[in-house]
Structure 1
């Protein structure tokens, strides 16, 4: 007879990126607990503690990536909003086509009357955050917010194309604080060294 102290359910509890207001955690927990309790009783495994790592569910909606529109143009009939953030700042869309809502932060109350492809400044065809995004009419200088980037956002960011990473800012009501400073060019090369056997 085996008595378990713990059952580790692992991770993988995500969020609804296309409907951030939807939350089925209670339904999920109820279904899971009913199934587990029945099987634990059938197998006489005792009263193990359940352990799991909720991952994205805890942190995904804690962060946004705020980016400014550098310019708007049409390419082969498609309307593009090209922003100053790039795939190095947020890899998920370029890496595996992850979906993230994008809103016009400074025009949030205006109707979404046009569709834009939203891309970055990096010389890669995959430097695209999303296509066919419904937004108000966008102009140079507008601010776009890419939502739910708290999971795998900063941890997957990098300095590709010699691009310094942006700062991280914490908001709590009206309180604002920088919790990770933005990088400068000097930070990109601070670890580089020239061996003394190379002639200058």
Structure 2
């Protein structure tokens, strides 16, 4: 199954939008705005879609939540409860996982420019796996392990697959900062260095093709190219990968114009492709690892705003300004990401006009939604923007010294604050006086 964008949102008897059984207008009044709200039930449903897909196909593997999409202690505790693994890309994300009590053997460290500190922390905490991106990674890990410690690794490669997505979120094409190039000799050199290493155990290959992918074509193209290289290594050395990690990038439906992505079908197509290639090589079927992030949390979250100034420009447009913007959701300004929303306190009323939703930052480009059809809107209304669960909080910033919003989880009619709203003192807490 795949969950439609608006499936868990309801309208109550007051005509207000609800999420997880809670009136969003009440949430806005109680916690203030801007406010990130997550439906925990939907997070769990999304996680189980991926787990069940592997189980149904009879495949051993790991579903590793890509914590860059949204990482807090409470979020990682939910992921832990659902039995997923976790990928992290910094000491901050790793520290959050440790503080959340996440099983260390299920944590994977990523990154194209890992530091000595990151490797040191990974080795000290004895995490489950490191994904090596480059020769500098190998050297740093060797130095950190010394002669006695060991680490399981995957080798990240760029398979030269140009996925159909925005250039800022493409990662698998040849001209990428990530991974060893598969066909210019880099991957061969790294493989030779790692395959018989005494302290580093090469479990298999990793690739990531980009984000917001909506069909399986990029994954099956990558599979073909990865197994072409594995065939070469198998013939030369007898190498058999224990793990094949095809990354994440599974898209979600942001607006009605986006396709409804059926993750089980994408995964089944990939697995069937791998089965054919493994059979042709006559090697054991490897574990399949996947790294959904956006697909777990994206459509589980919304952001609530309060409407302020409204500017009518006859025959041009109407600007409806809200009390947030590119500080809590930079994606529209960064790469023209589209969103949909509703006036939460008037969710049952007929729409009557098309407006542009403007943020309050001092940038003309701070526009959250270019065109949104709404009922008659006035200052004090509550606007809900859908599908902001991925990368909203993660990429939030303090531009114009705006405090970052609070985060609330709702589940089965219960709401709980899981991240406090930043205060003005938080904004200046690291500032020092000049004398």
Check whether TM > 0.5.
Answer: yes
1:93-144 deviation digits (Å, cap 9, x = unpaired): 1111111111111111122221010001111011100111111221111111
2:427 matches 1:184: no
> What number of residue pairs does the alignment pair up?
196
Q: State the partner residue of 1:9.
A: 246
1:159-179 deviation digits (Å, cap 9, x = unpaired): 110111121111112212111
Structure having the higher helix fraction is 2
SS at match of 1:69: strand
Q: Do the aligned partners of 2:251 and 2:261 also contact (CA within 8 Å) in 1? A: no
Q: State the partner residue of 2:322.
A: 83
Q: In structure 2, do the counterparts of structure 1 residues 44 and 113 end up closer, same or farther at CA, with 3 Å as the change threshold?
A: farther
1:23-48 deviation digits (Å, cap 9, x = unpaired): 41122122112111111211223110
How far 1:90 sits from its partner (Å)?
1.1
Q: State the partner residue of 1:37.
A: 275
* Structure 2 CA distance for aligned equivalents of residues 145 and 131 of structure 1: 15
Q: Which runs of 4+ in 1 moved over 6 A?
A: none
* Structure 2 CA distance for aligned equivalents of residues 26 and 172 of structure 1: 25
Q: Do the aligned partners of 1:3 and 1:44 also contact (CA within 8 Å) in 2? A: no
* Structure 2 CA distance for aligned equivalents of residues 142 and 129 of structure 1: 16
2:296 matches 1:58: yes
* 1:35-184 matches, cutoff 5 A: 35-75=273-313, 77-184=316-423
SS at match of 2:270: helix
TM-score, normalised by the number of residues in structure 2: 0.43
Q: Do the aligned partners of 1:65 and 1:149 also contact (CA within 8 Å) in 2? A: yes
How far 1:6 sits from its partner (Å)?
0.7
- Unaligned 5+ segments in structure 2 are 1-237
Q: Do the aligned partners of 2:250 and 2:263 also contact (CA within 8 Å) in 1? A: no
